[in-house]
Structure 1
Amino acid sequence: MQQLVRVFVDEDTCCPGFQFQADLSLDPVVSVLFDRAMALKIPHNYFALWMMLPCAALKGTRPVDLRDIHDPSPLLAALDGLVTDETA
């Protein structure tokens, strides 16, 4: 459960489907991003929202649409930039 992105709505806890592959295993790119988000102290709800919204650092692409890339570096940089942008 610690490796799952969780979204808290009132008293309910939901796990967004974008983090699962077709065989229900965890998507490795999302897992890497989630680990970084936790290291950056980004709350689960904010991370889930970031995954689903167009990202300027990714030229307007939603991070969730780039889960199948082999090198998650652009996604990690965009996530790191989120913290930098918010704290600047």
Structure 2
Amino acid sequence: MVYQIHIGGEIFSCGESVDLLKAARSHQVKIPYGCANGGCGMCKVKIQKGEYKIGLCSKGALSDEERQQGYVLACKTYPLSHLIGDLVE
């Protein structure tokens, strides 16, 4: 399944098996990132609406509290529905 992702005023498509950062980059959508491996936290996004799953990432980059509030790392997040989110600065 392929979903529409709305982040930071940009729209791109992303399949369930592709992380948000990889999909954004393939559509020339800019999401800041450093390591692209769940360790730095630069690609943090606040999901406003939609379902997703998160892969393993550093708790220093994304705390349990942030996860409960809807924050994710784009490099470790896979959509399960259409998503709407905002970049975190």
- Flag whether TM exceeds 0.5 (same fold): no
The structure with the largest helix share of the pair is 1
What's the TM-score once normalised by structure 1's chain length?
0.30
Question: If you compute each CA radius of gyration, which structure gives the higher value, 1 or 2?
Answer: 1
Q: Which has the higher contact order (CA 8 A, sep 6+)?
A: 2
The structure with the largest strand share of the pair is 2
What's the TM-score once normalised by structure 2's chain length?
0.30
